[in-house]
Structure formats: structure tokens, C-alpha cells
Homo-oligomer: A and B are copies of this chain.
Amino acid sequence: MAVCYQSSFSTFPSTDLSKPNISLSTNFRCNLSFPSSKTLITEPEPLFTLVKSFAPATVANLGPGFDFLGCAVDGIGDFVTLRVDKDVHPGEISISDIHGVGNSAKKLSKNPLWNCAGIAAIAVMKMLNIRSVGLSLSLEKGLPLGSGLGSSAASAAAAAVAVNEIFGGQLSVSDLVLAGLESESKVSGYHADNVAPAIMGGFVLIRSYDPLELIQLPFPEEKELFFVLVNPEFEAPTKKMRAALPTEITMSHHVWNCSQAAALVASVLQGDLRGLGTALSSDKIVEPRRAPLIPGMEGVKKAAIEAGAFGCTISGAGPTAVAVTDDEEKGRDIGVRMVEAFMEDGNLKASAMVKRLDRVGARLVSSIPRGQMSSESLFDSNTHKAIRQMTWCAYSLSLDVAMAS
């Protein structure tokens, strides 16, 4: 039997009742506190009986951007199917099933309080003040756990977006990131460098947490950017990876990494892939401590660069290695070389994939409007949302095919 959790306090206000458009040049600011002066949200009715959402994998840190930079990767991630469920007590959520790659289904709890998707879903239900509707959630893991690809963040992001959209999408991007952060803080630490890009897409800079300020860094539309993601069969020793971080940093290393992070941001905004790659490879603080803990990583990085990648580093806390290139075919060759290097230098089996930059972030991929509401009436009553929904549905067709292949 699924474990439920009652989401609604008597009157839980939203952190930010306005919903800014998702603009690529917008800075998102959201105060973490809940000032009493804010208008309390009226509980919204569900617009759909079922929604299915997708949230992409993410690469955090990006070398010198440790703990404040991340980006989303297209075509690989987690799905959440969320339905209005009369068998679930109003104001509560239940996780009905978890399935997907590897042993994630076995390892993940169905208790929403102990599940990334569940925690984020509850946080959004609180923000929306949901008291009258019960929900059940099905989680489909496309990402392996502990791979360094933002697995927990993808689940949280997909769940947050699903809950928000089933009730008409009233919350802002900042709110959704805050809900995701609530989840991340319980499973992997209070950092948004996975969950923010998982929700927003593209490259995101976490400028501050209190208040939460996120800067979206648009990579030029006309330019191609591919990530070569090589995941070895190796469980990164999380405690060791964290313990490996230095507590003190020399001034010269600080200035170096700082300038490389700044250069990385400039390269992203200017569409300079060579510059981006150089910055990605340049970390002198975290990567040199963590790479030796992943067998073969140093050789893998060398192999990627020799094979023509613009740059290479550890994705998140590893063990996945990430390299960047501007050509999908070349990306495959780079991937082959990196897989070989993992075997030669680290005696580890590994698999490679080449994925585009995800520029969209978490989104609906399909939905069923409530019984009494036809497609026409939905369109008439809420043109903007209907168009958005149609776009997402169209997008989902190709995405679902890609994910199934």
C-alpha cells in the first residue's frame, strides 16, 4: 500500500504569487521567507485529471562552477505521471509505483516523505494550498542513481512541474526551484545547481540562496552544443568525494578558478565553445581532489581532449565524465575513446551517450483535461496555457520516441 502524506496546512501561502514569464535573460529572485503581508493563495482546482511530465538530466559544477553552475541535457531524464485520485485522501499524495533503469525501483522509497519526487510534490501542494484533492504519482526513472547526472533533481523537478501544471501552472519558476531545493536538501544537500537547470533548462547560475537568485545563461540558439556523457560501472564513494573537498583554498587558486568560472559564463553567453571547453577543463580546486577517486578519470579526460573534445571534467560529484563538442558524430568518436580509456586506465566498464543541450527544462509531455472540459473550451478559456500545453504535447511525441529508442 502506498504511503500518503497530508500536504496542506490550514493556510499555507505561496512564496511568490506572481508568475513571471520564463525569459532567457530574466533573473529569478525569490525570498525564502514567507512574509505575512502576502496575499494567501486560493486553492486552485485541477485543470487535468492526469499529467505526465519530464525533467532532464543535469551536469552540475561544470569544472570551476563548483556549487553554483549547472546545465540541462536533452533526451535523458525522469518522468512523472500524476493523476487526480479519489482513493487518496484529499490534500494528500501517494506514490503508486516506481520503475525504470537499474535498481532504482528497489532502492527508492515509496513514502513521499523519503522520496525526491514526493518531497517536491508535497512542497508544491503546500505552496498551492491544496486541501481538497488527492493525487497519486508514478515515477519512471530514466537516470541511474548516484551517477552525477542529477538523478534526484530530475525526479524532484518532474514532480514539482507535474503538480503545478495539474492545477493550472500558477507558481513561478522560482517557486518550483524552491520546492525542488526542499527535496534536494533532504537527499543530497542544499544546492540548486542540478534542480534549477532541471526545471529551467539551459545553463543556470545560482547567484544566491537567501534570497534565491537564479540567472539563466542563454547559449545562442544558432549554435550546437553536445555533451558526451560517459558513465562507468562504479559507485562513487559519496563520503570520500565530499571529504576530498579542501576547506581552505590559496589566493592564487581562488583567483584562477574565479576567472575560469567567469570565462565559462562569458563563453556560454557568447557561444564560444572552445572557450567553454577550456574553462570546463580548468578547475584547480575540486577536480584534482576528486578525479583520483574515480579509477581512470584522468586518462579519460586526456583521451577526450586528444579525441577533439573542447573540454572535459567530472559531471557533478561523478563518476560520470562529461566532455563537450559541437558535432554529434565527433561526439560519438570521443565517447568511444573515453570508454576505452575507462577500461585501460581504470579497469572499468563504461557506456557513452551523446546528448544536446536541453534548452527547455522540465515540461509536460502529455495530459488529459478534466472530463467536462473539451479541448475547445480549454483553448477558449485559457488560450495561453492551451497553446503551451499543445506545444509540450507536440514536443513530447518526438521525445517519447527518442526515449523509447
* B205→A259 contact, CB < 8 A: yes
Known A-B contacts A207-B260, A247-B250; A66 and B266 likewise in contact (beta carbons under 8 Å): no
The verdict on A270 contacting B269 (CB below 8 Å), with A215-B263, A255-B66, A257-B258 known, is: yes
Given contacts A262-B261, A275-B27, contact A285 B205 (CB under 8 A): no
Which residues 255-308 of A have a CB within 8 angstroms of B? Answer: 255, 257-266, 269-270, 272, 275, 285
Closest to A67 in B: B255
CA distance A264 to B27 in the complex (A): 13
Residue of B nearest to A271 (CB): B25
Interface string of A57-95 (1 = CB under 8 A from B): 000000011111100000000000000000000000000
The majority secondary structure among interface residues of chain A is mixed
In the complex, chain B residues whose CB is within 8 Å of the CB of A376: none
The answer to whether B27 touches A262 (Cβ under 8 A) is no
Of the candidates A65, A68, A262, the one having the most CB atoms from chain B within 10 angstroms of its own CB is A262
Determine whether the beta carbon of A262 is less than 8 Å from that of B259: no
Closest beta carbon of chain B to A34's beta carbon, Å: 23
- List A residues at the B interface (Cβ < 8 Å): 25, 27, 64-69, 205-208, 215, 217, 245-251, 254-255, 257-266, 269-270, 272, 275, 285
20 contacting pairs across A/B (C-beta < 8 A) = A25-B270, A25-B272, A27-B272, A65-B262, A68-B258, A69-B259, A205-B263, A207-B260, A207-B275, A208-B259, A215-B266, A245-B251, A247-B250, A249-B249, A249-B250, A249-B251, A249-B254, A257-B258, A259-B261, A261-B261
